[in-house]
Amino acid sequence: MLTSTLLFAKDFISEPLSKDSARILIRDLEEFSLLITSSEDIRQLETIMPSQEFACLKERIKSGRIRCRVRTETGREIELFSEVRVTPNGKDHDPALWGTSVDNYADSPPVLHRREIRSGSVVLDSRDEFWLQVVVPMLRAMTRSRSRIEVVDSYLLDDYLRYTKSRSEMESGLGWFLRSLSSFAETSSSDLTVVIFAAASDDRPNLTLRAIQDAMMHLTRSLCPNLKIRLGLIPPRNFRGVVRDAMHHRRIVTTASNGSLIYLGLDRGISDFNLPNDGSTIRACSTFNYVPYVHPGSDRHDSSLLLASIPSDHLIDL
């Protein structure tokens, strides 16, 4: 999981980074951070890093191995969601930020908490906390011009319709997930697009296009206008072979600013966010699979293959 991290070259002017410290910084930024910086800050880092390590840092940022959001003079509000600031002495004067040194970055509380969540040594006790610690950092890694999140879940609609026969839409994982996306989209001046890939099959005759449209229109009626939802239903005749294989792993995927993917695998899809009958911890808190970097074009997720399997009348804009 990504922790929003500020890094300013000016903080290190009097204490340039050694080769070892620079390598530790690059390793930890790649593993744990969403780097909040500016183009000028990146250029200035050359003055406080050994040349070989600086070249490595630039390559990791360019390739997306280090996720980066670039501040601009007209978009400084991006700093508002920063959580950690790396400084030579590990201190920061802003009480809203956690100051940390390079050597202690991976063990700073915001980063350490997410490390423990990912390893399973800490299990979150609510889906709202899961949203804040796991999903929101994925969304923040997107740029405004490419704010797109994709959900792949063959049985999402079956699970939702079955669950809401006895439980309220408010308790369902799908309802909660879309409301959470809507709240996130409200804070942005640009649209957030979510594309949902689901499937029909011959052994589920009640899952008609009409039934799906009615259920989804009811579910999305009060969501933020900035949230654009497209549902793609793969018909039974196309749900086979490579398409079926591509739908096998239920997942949420975001596209980072450089086109690389951030992957969140779910054991039973969006229904992992359903509130359980006994009030116990939701499944997603303990069964998820998080992959911070997936190269564009990877076999792990190919949305173009899925879109090609969906007829135009099975693509529904909600």
| Rounded (5°) CA angle 3-6-42 | 120
Percentage of the chain lying above the pLDDT 70 cut: 90
- CB–CB of 70/38 below 8 Å? yes
Which residue intervals of 1-81 are DSSP H helices? 19-32, 39-44, 51-63
For the record, the structure tokens of 275 come out as 């509130």
For the record, the structure tokens of 87 come out as 């400084």
Going through the chain in order, the beta strands assigned E by DSSP cover: 3-7, 33-37, 67-70, 84-86, 98-100, 148-152, 192-199, 227-234, 251-255, 261-265, 289-294, 315-317
One-letter amino acid of 176: W
103-to-54, 66, 206, 289 alpha-carbon distances in Å: 17, 18, 58, 27
Of the pLDDT bands very low, low, confident and very high (cuts 50, 70, 90), residue 258 is: low
Instruction: Report pLDDT for 219.
Output: 79
pLDDT surpassing 90 at residue 114: yes
Percentage of the chain lying above the pLDDT 90 cut: 21
Least confident of 1-15, 85-99, 259-273: 85-99
Of the pLDDT bands very low, low, confident and very high (cuts 50, 70, 90), residue 108 is: very high
40-to-43, 44, 72, 288 alpha-carbon distances in Å: 5, 6, 10, 37
Instruction: Report pLDDT for 159.
Output: 84
Q: pLDDT tens digit string along 125-140?
A: 888 999 999 999 888 8
For the record, the structure tokens of 236 come out as 């039974």
Q: Give the mean model confidence (pLDDT) for residues 86-93.
A: 78
Residue with token string 């069964």: 287
Least confident of 19-28, 66-75, 133-142, 166-175: 66-75
Distance CA 4, CA 137 (A): 8
Instruction: Report pLDDT for 92.
Output: 66
pLDDT surpassing 80 at residue 80: no
Q: When comparing pLDDT for 194 and 91, which is higher?
A: 194
Dihedral angle of Cα 272, 160, 274, 144, to the nearest 10 degrees: 70
pLDDT surpassing 90 at residue 256: no
One-letter amino acid of 155: Y
What is the rounded radius of gyration, in angstroms, for the C-alpha atoms of the chain? Answer: 21
Q: pLDDT tens digit string along 173-211?
A: 888 999 999 988 887 767 889 999 988 766 666 667 777
pLDDT surpassing 90 at residue 216: no
How much is the pTM?
A: 0.86
Distance CA 209, CA 203 (A): 15
Strand 67-70 versus strand 33-37 pairing type: parallel
Give the start-to-end residue ranges of the domains of the chain: 3-115, 125-317
Least confident of 108-112, 153-157, 205-209, 294-298: 205-209
